[in-house]
Amino acid sequence: MCRALLVLFLASLPTAIHAQDRVILQPDGTSGTVSLKGEIIDYTGRELVIRPRELGDIKRYPASTVREIQTAYHDSHLAGREALARRDWATCEDKLAAALNQETRTWVRRDILALQVRSALEQGKWLQAARRFLLIVESDPRTIHYDLIPLLWIGETLNDEESALMRGWLNHRYAAAQLIAVSALLDVRDAQVTQTLKSLLRGDDIIVQRLARFLDYRAQISDDPQTLPDIRRWENQADELAPALRGGPYVVIGVAYSLKHEHDWAAACYLRTPLMNHPDARLRRAAARLAVESLTAAGMIAAAESLQRELSNREME
């Protein structure tokens, strides 16, 4: 009996996967790739750390040089990813939770958390996505998963729970949490929100700084839409971001063009967000709706109707 209980207890513990990892690197300034085999110790937004197969010294490579990683995953991890792809939310959440309990590798646990953030964003669960994203940042402040940061690019009313949490995050130790809070409270525009935004604009995290810039532009639009600067300069700045980070900023640019009654340009900007398959389903739908409205305002009725049908079909898939 005791032996049986011991077996059950051991089976319930997180299990480690000891298969050999393979990494494809492309060193900066080269066109060729290099393949490495060994055990990945960590993979952050700053670097990949690997112990080579020959058990030599641990090697470190810039994260920007990583092109592909091949490793073994638990069945629950793979099942959760597959359920996410087919939009089976209940199965996805169940399998990913199981995978998180089983996985012992920190860098893979962050990958599971990223899948959970993506699942929450697809379901329109913004607060849940924000909490999950913060778990990633607390483990790796320079995370490779910044494309999933759940910022609110279009103002909306927060409930009491959301508002209280965001107030606390304005003073959070991590800039990413402060950025999320500013995006959520920007329409309130009190001294604390304004001061936090200014601090982020002066910060040393370049990704946070550039995203904060577009939250500042969103605030400028609200202040006085008649005194907007050359919006095409904003587009150039948006293009400085990694492609996966441009969806929200282009919605801000689209709003600015709409206020200047340049509706064809506005539609083109709004469309970038759904066409790039932005991870936030609510933002995708809002941007698509605004694109249809802009095409209609521009007198492009046939194009607006065609786009509406296309977007409706996509949401039904």
Does pLDDT of 312 surpass 80?
no
Highest average pLDDT, of 83-87, 306-310, 313-317, comes from: 83-87
Give pLDDT, residue 57. Answer: 86
Question: Residue 40: which domain range?
Answer: 21-72
Beta bridge partners, 25, equal: 34, 66
Phi, psi at 66, each rounded to 5°: -80, 125
The residue out of 92, 122, 142 marking a domain boundary is 142
Same domain, 27 and 64: yes
Domain assignment of residue 109, yes or no: yes
The helix/strand/coil state of 243 is helix
Instruction: Convert the pLDDT of each residue in 11-57 to its tens digit.
Output: 444 555 556 899 999 988 888 999 999 999 999 999 999 998 776 78
Give pLDDT, residue 315. Answer: 64
Same domain, 208 and 259: no
Same domain, 67 and 109: no
Domain assignment of residue 6, yes or no: no
Domain assignment of residue 313, yes or no: yes
Output the pTM of the full model. Answer: 0.89
Same domain, 255 and 305: yes
Domain assignment of residue 263, yes or no: yes
Instruction: Convert the pLDDT of each residue in 157-187 to its tens digit.
Output: 899 999 999 999 999 999 999 999 999 999 9
Instruction: Convert the pLDDT of each residue in 226-242 to its tens digit.
Output: 777 788 899 999 999 99
Give pLDDT, residue 229. Answer: 77
Supply the CATH number for residue 31's domain. Answer: 2.30.30
Instruction: Convert the pLDDT of each residue in 62-77 to its tens digit.
Output: 999 999 999 999 999 9
Does pLDDT of 7 surpass 60?
no
Domain assignment of residue 101, yes or no: yes
Same domain, 209 and 254: no
Using CA atoms, how far apart are residues 13 and 162, in angstroms rounded to an integer? 35
Same domain, 220 and 155: yes
Left if phi > 0, otherwise alpha if psi is -120 to 50, otherwise beta: which for 124? left
With residue 62 as reference, give the H or E element that holds it.
strand 59-62
Same domain, 194 and 161: yes
Give pLDDT, residue 18. Answer: 56
What is the average pLDDT across 304-310?
A: 87
Tokens of 29: 């300034």
What is the DSSP code (8-state) at residue 225? G
Same domain, 315 and 256: yes
The residue out of 47, 72, 97 marking a domain boundary is 72
Does pLDDT of 191 surpass 60?
yes
Same domain, 82 and 133: yes
Domain assignment of residue 41, yes or no: yes
Domain assignment of residue 179, yes or no: yes
The residue out of 142, 166, 182 marking a domain boundary is 142
What's the total number of domains in the chain? 4
Domain assignment of residue 314, yes or no: yes
